[in-house]
Amino acid sequence: MAKVALICDTHAGARGDSLVFNEFFMKFWEGTFFPYLEENNIKHIIHLGDVVDRRKFINFVTLNSWRTRFFDRIRNSGIIMDVIVGNHDVAFKNTNEINAMDELFHGYNNINVHTSPIDIEFGNVKLALCPWINSSNYSSSLEFLNNTKSKILFGHFDIAGFEMDRGNVSHDGLNAGLFSRFYSVYSGHFHHRSSKGNIHYLGNPYEITWADYNDNRGFHVFDTESLEAEFISNPNTIFHKIFYDDTDQDMEYWNNFDFDKYENSYVKVVNLNKTNTYQFDYVMDRLYRASPADLTIIDDVIDAPDITDEVVNETEDTMTILSKYVDQMTVDVDSDKLKKLLKSLYVESLEMESD
């Protein structure tokens, strides 16, 4: 019996090379992921794409952190890692030829980068690996998928009908029927963990945006004997919501409240009822002293008794706002294509903002 750790969409350098998010990522790797691998003697990792966040460059501070605390630790632990190139790893959208992995992993003999589909053998089981499919490799990738003898497939796929994040379904992409011949398909790309039939989106290891709030993240361990993947939860969260209601919460409640856990976190205080100004100011003062990375107050909701997580998320979830705007448009337009275009422009704007 052999086991391999499955990770994907690690997005090194996310949120404009935020040091807060980088430390949050490292908290998972150093506190959960590597200790689990060491405890269970797991010596193989398959990364299902999007190692880095931006396609065209990487910040030197980010690179140093990931090299010394992630890639070096893999090598020093005697772990082999197979990496499938994802869409964020390639410099150009129509080819996998120039990619961050080939440029970054020189000197790491334990890391195998795959820019083309390939079959590997692990634990007496043949596994198919398929990187990001684009216009230049579309025909060869489909030929591989139709002819490989492997029954277990790992890839970085854009498959229609799956949630990119909760409630946000992708209507474009590959037809799920293309993968019906496989026993199991494990994919990166979409950050929400979900399964439908034999296709399993693994989800990314940690929260990156507010769309990830309260959506359990982690990694998987694939067993070559059972041919199943076990989910290992990430106990850390960076996004938090505090619902303030002083008709129900008195000073004793707040005196016993753990404010310290919000250090370097993103916090939203949802003001449901504020009748005691002194108490509210006390709560906010304690929160600011805890040094959150970001603190947002959502006010004027007293007359909205049916406030939901979706409403709260809209305050910072740009794509949710854009998506709802498109849905409310009265002009004759293909809303799905427009949403996809807006998302592409939004992602590119984030890349430019970090330049």
CATH number at residue 113: 3.60.21.10
Same domain for 192 and 265? no
The 10 Å Cβ neighbour count of residue 127 is: 22
- 201: tokens are 């989106």
Indicate the angle between helix axes 318-328 and 335-353, nearest 10 degrees: 150
Instruction: Give the end of a domain, one of 217, 233, 249.
Output: 233
pLDDT, residue 212, reads 95
pLDDT, residue 56, reads 80
Tokens 């939860």 locate to 233
The structural domain count of the chain equals: 3
pTM for the model stands at 0.83
Same domain for 339 and 225? no
Q: By residue range, what is the domain housing residue 290?
A: 239-313
pLDDT, residue 98, reads 54
Same domain for 145 and 266? no
Instruction: Give the end of a domain, one of 190, 212, 233.
Output: 233
Closest CA relative to residue 5, chosen from 52, 30, 31, 40: 40
Same domain for 84 and 113? yes
pLDDT, residue 123, reads 79
pLDDT, residue 216, reads 95
CB of 183 closer than 8 Å to CB of 220: no
Same domain for 34 and 182? yes
pLDDT, residue 303, reads 40
Same domain for 289 and 324? no
Same domain for 71 and 190? yes
Q: Which residues of the chain have pLDDT under 70?
A: 1, 91-101, 103, 300-324, 327-332, 343-344, 346-355
Same domain for 292 and 169? no
Q: How far apart are CA 12 and CA 51, in angstroms?
A: 6
pLDDT, residue 96, reads 63
Same domain for 137 and 270? no
pLDDT, residue 148, reads 97
CB of 168 closer than 8 Å to CB of 179: no
Same domain for 293 and 327? no
Instruction: Give the end of a domain, one of 216, 233, 250.
Output: 233
pLDDT, residue 282, reads 94
- Sorted by sequence, the CB contacts under 8 Å of residue 303 that are 6+ apart come out as none
Farthest CA pair distance, the chain: 70
- Sorted by sequence, the CB contacts under 8 Å of residue 217 that are 6+ apart come out as 193, 203, 204, 205, 206, 207, 233, 234
pLDDT, residue 342, reads 75
- Strand 218-223 to 3-7 pairing: antiparallel
Tokens 């404009």 locate to 16
Q: 326 vs 22, 160, 288, 340, 348, CA distance in Å?
A: 33, 20, 37, 11, 19
pLDDT, residue 305, reads 42
Same domain for 23 and 145? yes
- Strand 80-84 to 111-114 pairing: parallel
DSSP string across 266-286 = EEEEEEEE---HHHHHHHHHH
Q: How far apart are CA 61 and CA 63, in angstroms?
A: 5
Same domain for 17 and 39? yes
